């Protein structure tokens, strides 16, 4: 099989089953790319996560691009990104058409009721394996705990990651300098519906979402704030309609930024959906294209190597906070508790079971339990 076709099929599959947000997407990628297909080492995957957290854009989507680049070069970067985005954009655009035609959203809760509960186990398993590789010293563990605390206190994610990287790099570089100086000393010296969305031109839609995609850091909730400032503040749609759009991005598989497709369709049909989708995702392709070749150079520099190690641990600490919050928000009743516990048991006991079967099984079980 051609490596290009392989990349397309892998990320098309992940785009179809990628429920649960960026942390779940990255966990599924770790299983598929590192464990199953051996495209790269755990360390390389960690480096990509750490570096990706430092640039704007949807982290999990950018990780697909990095993985595609690793497997099949620049062409692989674009194939992976497009394949991962395609299912979410297609489903979201179809829902937008339904919303426009019938004035309400289709009922999807019975099918998505259990999915976030199921991905709790998937994320926990990936986090466990990645942390074992990333924690190279006691000091990095302490740094990770500090990041967990700061994240719970609500500090800006990118500032926490950059700060952790700089603190880690400075500490380990300084310690190495002290050690080298000690070696030179003598031994004796030791020691949505109901309102009309305003129609906009395709170029205006593209430019608006390009601006958002170029500066966006964080989750779907942060996306809500950016789109609120760009769209609601200008009177182009209501906050309720924006909330509907964000909800659709979270209900569908793949990146939550498919919200852009939903809004673009409302503003200017299929051409608006395409313009919004291209605008919000285009910066990510550019950032990854520039960043990926620099990661090897970072590893060759002692200071930047320590920086990357610290950022890797910080990124996993942030991922842990996401997992804890997701668990708190998702586990609302005995049905979801049951599905979450079963998910954890499956991924830790039967380690070779694919995420696809976990997601499919959770969806079917969740639907049956929802009807009780």
CA nearest neighbour of 46 among 120, 122, 129, 165: 129
Mean pLDDT score, 39-60 = 85
List the structure tokens of 9.
């099929």
**Angle of the 302-330 helix axis to the 42-52 helix axis, nearest 10:** 80
CA nearest neighbour of 205 among 275, 270, 100, 283: 275
Spatial contact of 287 and 280, defined as CB atoms under 8 Å apart: no
CA nearest neighbour of 150 among 137, 171, 164: 164
Q: Specify the DSSP element, H or E, that contains 211.
A: helix 202-215
Tens digit of each residue's pLDDT (9 = 90 or more) over 159-206 = 787 788 888 888 888 877 666 555 444 433 343 444 556 667 899 999
DSSP class of 36:
I
Give the pLDDT confidence score for residue 76 in this predicted structure: 95
Q: Is the pTM of this model over 0.75?
A: no
CA pair distance 349, 239, nearest whole angstrom:
45
- What average pLDDT is seen over the chain? 80
Burial 5-14 (b: 16+ CB within 10 A, else e): ebbbebbbbb
DSSP states of 72-108 as a string?
A: HHHHHHHHHHHHHHHHHHHHHHHHHHHHHHHSS----
Tell how far CA 31 is from the center of its chain. Answer: 15
In which residue are the tokens 């919200």 written? 259
**Residues 6 or more apart from 225 whose CB is under 8 A from it?**
none
Spatial contact of 13 and 356, defined as CB atoms under 8 Å apart: yes
Give the pLDDT confidence score for residue 73 in this predicted structure: 94
Mean pLDDT score, 259-263 = 88
């Amino acid at each position: 099989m051609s490596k290009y076709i392989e990349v397309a099929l892998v990320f098309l599959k992940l785009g179809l089953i990628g429920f649960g947000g960026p942390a779940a997407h990255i966990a599924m990628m770790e299983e598929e790319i590192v464990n199953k297909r051996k495209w790269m080492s755990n360390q390389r995957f960690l480096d990509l996560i750490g570096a990706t957290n430092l640039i704007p854009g949807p982290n999990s989507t950018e990780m697909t691009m990095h993985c595609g680049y690793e497997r099949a070069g620049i062409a692989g970067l674009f194939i992976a990104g497009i394949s991962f985005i395609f299912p979410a954009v297609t489903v979201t655009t179809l829902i937008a058409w339904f919303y426009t035609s019938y004035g309400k959203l289709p009922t999807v809760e019975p099918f998505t009721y259990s999915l976030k509960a199921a991905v709790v186990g998937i994320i926990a398993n990936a986090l466990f394996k990645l942390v074992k590789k990333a924690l190279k010293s006691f000091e990095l563990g302490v740094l990770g705990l500090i990041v967990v605390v700061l994240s719970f206190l609500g500090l800006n994610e990118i500032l926490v990651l950059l700060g952790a990287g700089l603190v880690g790099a400075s500490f380990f570089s300084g310690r190495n300098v002290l050690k080298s100086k000690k070696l030179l000393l003598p031994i004796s010296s030791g020691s949505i519906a109901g309102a009309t969305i305003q129609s906009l031109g395709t170029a205006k839609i593209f430019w608006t979402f390009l601006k958002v995609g170029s500066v966006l850091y964080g989750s779907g909730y942060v996306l809500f704030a950016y789109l609120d400032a760009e769209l609601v503040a200008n009177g182009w749609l209501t906050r309720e309609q924006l909330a509907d759009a964000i909800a659709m991005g979270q209900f569908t598989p793949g990146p939550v930024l498919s919200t852009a497709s939903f809004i673009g369709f409302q503003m200017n049909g299929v051409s608006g959906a395409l313009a919004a989708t291209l605008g919000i995702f285009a910066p990510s392709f550019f950032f990854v294209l520039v960043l990926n070749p620099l990661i090897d150079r970072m590893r060759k520099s002692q200071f930047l190597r320590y920086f990357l190690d610290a950022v890797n641990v910080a990124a996993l600490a942030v991922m842990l906070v996401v997992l804890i919050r997701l668990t708190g928000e998702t586990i609302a009743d005995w049905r979801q508790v049951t599905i979450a516990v079963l998910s954890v048991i499956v991924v830790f006991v039967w380690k070779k079971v694919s995420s696809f079967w976990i997601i499919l099984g959770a969806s079917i079980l969740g639907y049956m339990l929802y009807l009780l």
